[in-house]
Amino acid sequence: MSKRYKVAVIKGDGVGPEVIEEAKKVLDAAAYSFRFTIDYYDYLMGGVAVDRVGVPLPDETLCGCLDADAILFGAVGGGKWDSLEHNFRPEHGLLKLRKSLDVFANLRPIFVYNELADASTLKTEVISGVDIMVVRELTGGIYFGEPRAKEEDKAYNTMIYSREEIHRIAKIAFETALKRKKKVCSVDKANVLEVSRFWREEVIRVAQEYPDVALTHMYVDNAAMQLIKNPKQFDVILTGNLFGDILSDEASMLCGSIGLLPSASIGHKVSLYEPIHGSAPDIAKQGIVNPIAAIASASMMLRYSLQQEEAANAIDKAINKVLKDGYRTRDIASFGAKSLCTTDDMGTLIANIVSRHEKE
């Protein structure tokens, strides 16, 4: 009997529905070639949910997600909902979803496709061969810390990390490094913040369990600079929620377009897979968004949640192949494009290669 998986799908806002459409197309091709079945269950979330049912994360969505084998997520948010009170903003729905699922580890691989080595604004020799895994803590830190408030004459948030929170994310970083180049760079602001000094102490403690992994520490301001100056020095970057958010957007530019990079958010229950880009309402519904980040997120889903490693490899290879053949969406059009293609074309091209791939 072939395997059957339940995938919860959240298309969300802006370009979300378009990129998810392509990711599903490629997943279906992989399911066909590698003989498994995916049943998709669509759930509302984000601005569309606010518009239809009044809240960004309906209970039904959360229950559906908890009941699935994995969650495929597009993007949420947009100017239309920006003036809403905090708890009603689409972004709040995403934060609540991450927290409720306890997906504390956000893995953001930053790598440069060979064919796009000159797509970056940085020099080719600086970025070619870059291969970094950002391990960002996702359910704690200043995003969730209490107390928080916006008052008449002041506003505040709290950056807080417990030993347990640091411990579990550090373990993920060291385990990840063991499968890579065995280097962890922990990024903090320990010269100023108590929370960072505590973070550093706990990371050092966890490192003792991993004598084969080299641990270094870097202040976040320096890390921001080093990422541009010499990104190849990094293997695994371990950091907190806010620093990880900022550094991963910065690092995404090493590879030329934020439209290329996937992410996985992992915990002990179901995991969430999403492109690292946002909802980009300004380019929605024009067929110009790059679906590769979402397709690569689907590939991470096959690898980490559904144990379909071969199918994931086939997708990654297919992405490489179309880029090698010179197909480009608009965001990367000036870099070696032989044919400019739409969002839909890009998904179809990748899906076609995957569906020709025969299981041995």
Out of ligand IPM, Mn ion, none, what residue 91 binds, judged by CB under 5 to 8 A for its kind, is ligand IPM
Q: What angle do CA 300, 331, 138 make, to 5 degrees?
A: 40
Alpha-carbon distance 128 to 167, whole Å?
33
Q: Which of 25, 189, 210, 273 is catalytic?
A: 189
- In the residue annotation, 51 being an active-site residue is answered as no
Please tell me what DSSP assigns to residue 288: -
The nearer residue to ligand IPM, 7 or 94, going by C-beta atoms, is: 94
Out of Mn ion, ligand IPM, none, what residue 94 binds, judged by CB under 5 to 8 A for its kind, is ligand IPM
Is residue 331 a contact point for Mn ion (CB under 5 A)?
no
- In the residue annotation, 221 being an active-site residue is answered as yes
- In the residue annotation, 42 being an active-site residue is answered as no
Q: Which of 5, 43, 113, 143 is catalytic?
A: 143
- In the residue annotation, 245 being an active-site residue is answered as yes
The nearer residue to Mn ion, 293 or 354, going by C-beta atoms, is: 293
> What is the DSSP secondary-structure string of 81-141?
GTTS-GGGSHHHHHHHHHHHHT--EEEEEEE--GGGTTSSSS-HHHHTT-EEEEEEE-SSG
The nearer residue to Mn ion, 108 or 357, going by C-beta atoms, is: 108
Q: Is the dihedral of CA 164, 166, 169, 172 positive or negative?
A: negative
Integer CA distances (angstroms), 124 to 272, 319, 333, in order: 33, 20, 17
Q: Is the dihedral of CA 38, 9, 136, 260 positive or negative?
A: positive
Alpha-carbon distance 210 to 201, whole Å?
15
Out of Mn ion, ligand IPM, none, what residue 344 binds, judged by CB under 5 to 8 A for its kind, is none
Q: Which of 42, 221, 282, 325 is catalytic?
A: 221
- In the residue annotation, 345 being an active-site residue is answered as no
Site residues for ligand IPM per CB under 6 A: 77, 91, 94-95, 245
Q: Binding marks (x or -) toward Mn ion, 231..260, rule CB under 5 A?
A: --------------x---------------
Alpha-carbon distance 300 to 109, whole Å?
10
Binding site for Mn ion (CB under 5 A): 245
The residues assigned a catalytic role are 143, 189, 221, 245, 249
